[in-house]
Structure 1
Amino acid sequence: MENDELLSHLDPEQREVATTLRGPLCVRAGAGTGKTRAITYRIAYGVRTGVFQPNHVLAVTFTSRAAGEMRSRLRDLGVSGVSAQTFHAAALRQLSYFWSTAVGGRVPPIAEHKLSLVSQAAGQLGMSTDRVSVRDLASEVEWSKVSLVTPENYAERAAQSGRAAVAGYSAPEISQLLRTYEDVKTNRNVIDFEDVLLILVGILLDRPDITRAVRDQYRHFVVDEYQDVSPLQHRLLQLWLGDRKELCVVGDVSQTIYSFTGASSHYLAHFVQEYPQAKVVELVRDYRSTPQIVTTANQVIAPDSSEGAVRLVSQLPSSVPVQWNEYADDVAEAEGIASHIANLRERGVPLHEIAILYRTNAQSAEFESALSKAGIGYSIRGSERFFSRREVREAMVAMRAAARSGVEGKLSTNVRTVLRQTGWRDEAPEQTGAARDRWEALNALNTLAFELEESRGASMLEFVQELEERAQLQNAPEVDGVTLSSLHAAKGLEWDSVFLAGMSEGLMPISLAKGEAGVAEERRLAYVGITRAKQHLLISYAKGNAGRGNRKMSRFLESVWPQPAKPVSRTTSYRQRRAAQVEEFAAQHPEDLDLLEQLMEWRTGVAAELDRPAYTVLHDTTLRAIAIAKPAELAQLGRIKGIGSTKLAAWGETILSIVAASTSRR
């Protein structure tokens, strides 16, 4: 592919991103505007033109899935050697490489979870160690570290950030917990995920020789989802860059939904203040969602005053309206959504293109029950990891063996052969439950094989390599079932059809949201949910539930939820129907409109002479039929419904003369 051809696949704003290869660049990209496409093409164009050396480019993402997708897209564009990693993966790689030089020995093990560490620290201080309290305390430990808050300045910074008392403990008590937590880690000789970045920052500050080596390696940086950068990540990025300004950041302040973890849209909103020479490009052309969905999203987010926000403009044809449903209770809502999904399936929408999104994980239970009763498969995002499933691990072992044997032929055929040996069959089992889950997981491997065969002509060996890379990054292939997901976990994903459920006060915004900032973040969360939908969006809430009072619709929807039509008089209703019928006739039979108007004018005159309503002379339906048929003889006119012998004798000749005169003028 030539360079001009490469750029021809981009819209004007995306092309501006792709061709801006020097200096700081800020891309404000709304949901569905092709930001990943723009930055991958920018990297590819930079490599093709010689401005970038692939091994000198570091593309930073916030999820392993996004990193894997970026590497895949770059491969499809013929670019290899670019490092696309999460902040933690990139930092761990550098830390592992330089540890022996900077510290000595080997990097301590990384604690996969900090709950046990926090529990031990809390226990030593006589603080509660029940599951809920420990989870809240662990979140506060994480926030303090990514926000560069120390035990010494915790009280001041927590007050500035509006952090409420955590698990009922005061700021001095939390400060002591932070100190004890670090002691527990030291005694266990482990580090946590935040330490990976913190220790690397310390090494880069203390060791200029190591800093120079890192800067020699990476000279061009791209950071995706920049609205989610924490102070710790921003500090590390500054050290990677040094005095250079070769930085492209991409993000959307309207999708800032992780402030509670320390993420801050400040760095995206004020990028130009940090880099005065920066170029700013806005991507607003939405290629994901229909105009109806985009209009709803824009209306919901409109009250948000986040600096640097963009407003979307759909590039898709007009489609079906957004649906709004109010249910009596949670069970009715779940069953109603399951019924809608069954209808979508019958209309040909694949189940993996359907998602039910909700505010809290606890809401999934009713949907799981309703889908199971309806015989509809589903998967819960954030549950057991795909590559940890026993059947998937066994299938991968068999795939490796087949690849080593040098099997030849079509990838899809070979993969199906291996899968059948593990118990997979072409047809899904009728029953739900574990058997169906197992089949869905193996079938996802089958589907992925087809996709790689079509897109790359991949061999069995390349397929195995792809699986191993995905397993390392936990980038699972799609399972053909409805996705159940919290709104936070749905960020970065998209589906043909989205059910945004439980949109009532107390859930959206959640009752725990405090102050204007907390409610504003909940509004952005609703916006994220809406913009996950491509073609169908159904928004609902339950008015009540057993043992609870009546619920109210979410305040975020009050301006967009359709209001019930006011009752109108019979006369007004008739006029409205008649106007609609005339408008429809004009659209479908524009060439006959003039004749219809002449016939109506004649009828008005006759009705006035007889002093009776016009419809008793001839009905509108009859006049429209005459205008379309254009009868030339009385026999033809008499066959039109509504023309009896009496009316034919009284007005037949007159009607024929009106038709003849109109026809002759054409």
Structure 2
Amino acid sequence: MSDGLNPPQRDAVNTLSGPLLVLAGAGTGKTRVVTFRIANLIRHRTKPERILAVTFTRKAAGEMQERATDLLPGKYRKADAPRPEISTFHALCVRILRRHAPVLGYPERFAICDRGDQESAARAALREIRAPADSLKPSDLLGFIGRWKMASVSPSGAMSLAETDREHLAAAAYRRYQKSLKNSGVVDFDDLLLLTEQLFTKHPEVRRKEAARFDHVLIDEYQDTNHSQYEIVRGLAMGHRNLCVVGDDDQSIYGWRGAEVTHILRFAKDWPDAKVVRLEDNYRSSASIIQHANTLIAFNSERHDKVLKPARHEGPNPRILQFKDEQDEAVSVVKDIQRLMGMGRGAKDFAILFRTNEQPRAFETELRAAQLPYVLIGGMSFFDRREVRDLLAYLRLVADPGDDPAVLRVLNTPPRGIGDAARKALVTEAAARGKHVWDMIESPTGVTGLSKAAMKGVLEFRNMVQTWQELAERLSLQDMFHRILDDTKYEAEIRRLYEDPNDRDARWATVEEITNAAASYDTRRKSRKKKPRDRIIAFLDDLLVGNQDESREKEKQLSQNAIALMTLHSSKGLEFPFVYLVGLEEGILPHKRSLEGTEKDIAEERRLAYVGVTRAQDELTMTMALTRRKWGKPRETIPSRFLFEMTGQAENFVKRQRAAQQQAKGPTQRRSGAKQRR
């Protein structure tokens, strides 16, 4: 059972009861430990369906399920064999809310809105409170709401916490936004966690019922949990106390997303009888890279005591390169990659990691000039694409015509004569009667303000949707999509919107990808056994929630034979033979916002640098520019404190910083400081 495991890994795998904290440093094989532990629990007669394992990405959940099953005897591999419940936090919460949402005043068939729906609701909320146009953008409001929800702050709580005028405006709009979503039977992604936490807190009988489904709970990446996730985990495990959490406080880099590193730091206090196992053998990076990583992260005072130990000892020392400016930095890095590729290395072996979204521009320019293949990881999410949002809104509408955001999105898409005036008339009449927009579409004769053309379009739309609802009784999801595409003439709409043939092909390929996902779901879940509406909702949950982490899109991008350009946040969990960590300057890494904050903010930036360093397997190159342009003018930079810390020269950074502060006092000092530096 434990073949191939080192002693600490084996200890974690064989600890089968009670609270367990597995501190898994970078590259120490944590996924292997989790999957072996799941398999070991089953071998020791824990029923598979009584095990819950939760992680943050769908890809990780899928890998865990597959690897754990492969470790078990054949009877556990049959298609109908019971399996552990392994999923993301959001997917787990969807399943819980589907069972208990009415307790909180939401319908069982609540819809999950996308970013576009959120922005529409935010815009409407700002109009309702008559917020001045230049005071708060919808995206800014969603930023406030997201941060509040991740901290488990309700609209009333936000109002009491608000200090500035903008915060008071945002809190007032938050109340309207949340009321609008609830009235429409809609939740956003942050609600999935927040509402589940509220279920457990306000309705103990629900928490007990959900907790009783499992005998063991395993949580991956525990350092990334926010307040709601922490409370949900505690609620599920407090009865049997068989809780195993795996993570690394040194890789906690999502504070801006609500993650609280204190959860993993205080685990032994929360669970006083907890056993702690440290995984410190790193199988990824060379000894010299590990040495730099250990030296750097030791400057963080609030952390578990652990030191990575390299299993590999070969490899050159990391390089630290200084360049004249950001252009010279990009030119030199691309030339170095060209040199190594000329020696037989593939494009996939290289990653250029940066802290801010502005940095890759110069590198993209040079890579294009050198005709080297590259991919910029990130960019637009699959679910933010217009055609995806359109088609999923149509499907949401078939499942639930009361989904107002879905109705309004596709009411005139493609155009069918229902313009802004008609749309406003339908919305106004629905609000006046306290009904859904679809109720007005079903009986539009009483709606004032509809032109003859608009009335024709509304009736056409109504009849089309009603036909789909009837067809949903006997068609597969794949066939439903084909029918929707045919009836709406959606391919013609793509040809109308996009003149460039390449753009058209790319858009239509996206449509095909959704259809493929529907076909896959039909086969995988045998979903035609469900009632049509439940089947559609289950598919949308699987598609939307399962891909909220965007790991699917990242995986697709990384599968190309191309140099990877990505932020340090995006690089977590990945590894590359050659890594270029660029822009190591004060104000970039650490970011300028952290310089205006507290030591806690600097500590998170240090963890981010640590994540970047530990992505490298064979060679690590760290770069900085001596000057960087701001508003078109070159400005001198200060090397990142992390460079000094890694090289054992932290005291030199303090001297350099004092000199820079002195330099800023006047023209004479500035000139002499610049001269001395050259």
What is the rounded CA distance, in whole Å, between the counterparts of 2:146 and 2:70 in structure 1?
37
Partner of 2:568: 487
Deviations 1:313-359 (A, max 9, x none): 11112211111111112222112111122222233333223211101
SS at match of 2:53: strand
- 1:549 maps to which residue? 635
Is the Cα contact below 8 Å between 2:288 and 2:318 reproduced in 1? yes
Q: Give CA-to-partner distance per residue, 1:229-254, whole Å, 9 cap, x none.
A: 11111111122224220100011111
User: How far did residue 386 of structure 1 move?
Assistant: 7.3
2:305 and 2:123 map into 1 onto residues whose CA distance is 40
Q: What are the equivalent positions in structure 2 for 1:441-520 lying under 5 Å apart? A: 473=547, 474-475=551-552, 476-477=555-556, 478-513=559-594, 514-520=597-603
Given residue 504 of structure 1, which amino acid in structure 2 is its aligned partner? Answer: E
Contact 1:252 1:309 in 2 (8 A): no
Q: Aligned pair 1:77/2:79, yes or no?
A: no
Which residue number corresponds to residue 110 of structure 2? 108
Letter in 1 for 2:96: Q
Matching residue within 21, 24, 29 for 1:26 = 21
Match status 1:12 vs 2:7 = yes
- Deviation readout 1:469-494 (Å, 9 max, x if unpaired): 99964533522111111111111211
Q: Note the alpha carbon deviations across 1:634-657, whole angstroms, 9 max, x for none.
A: xxxxxxxxxxxxxxxxxxxxxxxx
Aligned to 1:245: 241
Do structure 1's residue 62 and structure 2's residue 56 form an aligned pair? yes
SS at match of 2:579: strand
Residue equivalent to 2:340: 344
Tell me the SS of whatever aligns to 1:382: coil
> Per-residue displacement from partner, 1:378-401 (whole Å, max 9, x unpaired)?
1121235579999x9xxxxxxxxx
Residue 196 of structure 1 aligns to which amino acid in structure 2?
L
Q: Does structure 2 conserve the Cα–Cα contact (< 8 Å) formed by 1:59 and 1:221?
A: yes
- Paired position in structure 2 for 1:219: 215
Does the 8 A contact of 1:56 with 1:218 survive in 2? yes
| SS of structure 2 residue aligned to 1:317 | coil
The one-letter code matched in structure 2 to 1:222 is L
Q: 1:189 to 1:262 in 2, by over 3 A?
A: same
Q: Which residue of 1 aligns with 2:168?
A: 172
Q: What code does the residue aligned with 2:53 have?
A: A
Aligned to 1:302: 298
CA contact (8 A) 1:254 1:309 kept: no
Q: Could you tell me how far apart the structure 2 residues matched to 1:204 and 1:48 are?
A: 31
Matches within 5 A, 1:244-393: 244-384=240-380
Report the Cα offset of residue 156 of structure 1.
Answer: 6.7
Aligned to 1:121: 125
Preserved contact between residue 57 and residue 221 of structure 1 (Cα < 8 Å) = yes
Is the CA contact (8 Å cut-off) linking 1:146 and 1:233 kept in structure 2? no
Partner of 1:37: 32
Q: In structure 2, what is the equivalent of residue 421 of structure 1? A: none
Q: Distance in 2 between matches of 1:275 and 1:561?
A: 38
Deviations 1:259-297 (A, max 9, x none): 122210111111111111100011111111111111111
Kindly name which structure, 1 or 2, has the bigger radius of gyration based on alpha carbons.
1
Q: Which residue of 2 aligns with 1:524?
A: 607
Residues 529-540 of structure 1 aligned to structure 2 (within 5 Å): 529-540=612-623
Provide the rounded CA distance (Å) in 1 between the counterparts of 2:588 and 2:318: 21
Match of 1:603 in 2: none
Find the aligned partners of 2:585 and 2:198 in 1 and give their Cα distance: 46
User: Which deviates the most, 258-267 or 70-79?
Assistant: 70-79
The one-letter amino acid of 1:552's match is: I
**Which amino acid counterpart does residue 32 of structure 2 have in structure 1?**
R
2 CA distance for matches of 1:13 and 1:496?
27
**Which amino acid letter does the alignment assign opposite residue 593 of structure 2?**
L
Listed one character per residue, the Cα deviations across residues 127-169 of structure 1 (whole Å, up to 9, x for unaligned) are 466799543432221121121223444477678xxxxx6xxx4
2:450: which partner in 1? none
For residues 106 and 247 of structure 1, do their structure 2 counterparts lie closer, same or farther at Cα, with a shift above 3 Å needed? same
Match of 1:46 in 2: 41
Percent identity among equivalent residues? Answer: 33
CA contact (8 A) 2:100 2:108 kept: no
Q: One-letter code of the match for 1:77?
A: L
Any conservation in 1 of the 2:250–2:303 contact (CA below 8 Å)? no
> Match of 1:92?
94
SS in 2 for 1:199: helix
Using a 3 Å threshold, how does the CA distance of structure 1 residues 522 and 102 change in structure 2: closer, same or farther?
closer
Q: Aligned AA for 2:54?
A: V
Counterpart residue number, 2:482: none
Cα distance between partner residues in 2 of 1:27 and 1:322: 29
The 1:31/1:280 distance shift into structure 2, 3 A limit, reads same
Counterpart amino acid of 1:239?
G
- Residues 1:92 and 1:184: Cα distance change in structure 2 (over 3 Å): same
- RCO higher in 1 or 2 (8 Å CA, sep ≥ 6)? 2
Structure 2 residue 228 is matched with structure 1 residue 228:
no
1:496 counterpart letter in structure 2 = P
- One-letter code of the match for 1:529? G
User: In the alignment, does 2:197 pair up with 1:201?
Assistant: yes
SS at match of 1:559: helix
How much does 1:85 deviate? 1.0
2:107–2:185 CA contact under 8 A, matched in 1 = no
SS in 2 for 1:336: helix
CA contact (8 A) 1:139 1:261 kept: no
Partner of 1:141: 145
TM normalised by structure 2 equals: 0.66
Mapped contact 1:500–1:529 kept (Cα < 8 A): yes
Q: Is the 8 A contact 1:67 1:85 kept in 2?
A: yes
Deviation at 1:187, TM superposition (A): 4.7
Task: Tell me the alpha carbon deviations over residues 404-463 of structure 1, each in whole angstroms, 9 at most, x when there is no partner.
Answer: 9xxxxxxxxxxxxxxxxxxxxxxxxxxxxx79x99xx99xx9xxxxxxxxxxxxxxx99x
Counterpart amino acid of 2:97? L
Q: Count residues in correspondence.
A: 489
Please state how far the C-alpha of 1:206 moved relative to its aligned partner: 5.0
**Given that residues 61 and 223 in structure 1 are in contact (C-alpha distance below 8 angstroms), is that contact kept between their aligned partners in structure 2?**
yes
SS at match of 2:635: coil
- Residue in 1 aligned with 2:397? none
Given the two structures, how large is their TM-score scaled by the length of structure 1? Answer: 0.67
**Aligned CA distance change for structure 1 residues 175 and 494 (closer, same or farther; 3 Å):** same
Provide the rounded CA distance (Å) in 2 between the counterparts of 1:195 and 1:227. 21
Distance in 2 of aligned mates of 1:245 and 1:188 = 38
Partner SS, residue 325 of structure 1 = strand
Give the equivalent residue in structure 2 for 1:558.
Answer: 644
Q: Identify if the C-alpha distance between structure 1 residues 277 and 266 changes in structure 2 by more than 3 Å, giving closer, same or farther.
A: same
Q: Distance in 2 between matches of 1:310 and 1:157?
A: 38
What code does the residue aligned with 2:617 have? K
Unaligned residue ranges in structure 2 (runs of 5+):
78-82, 389-477, 479-501, 514-519, 526-538, 650-678
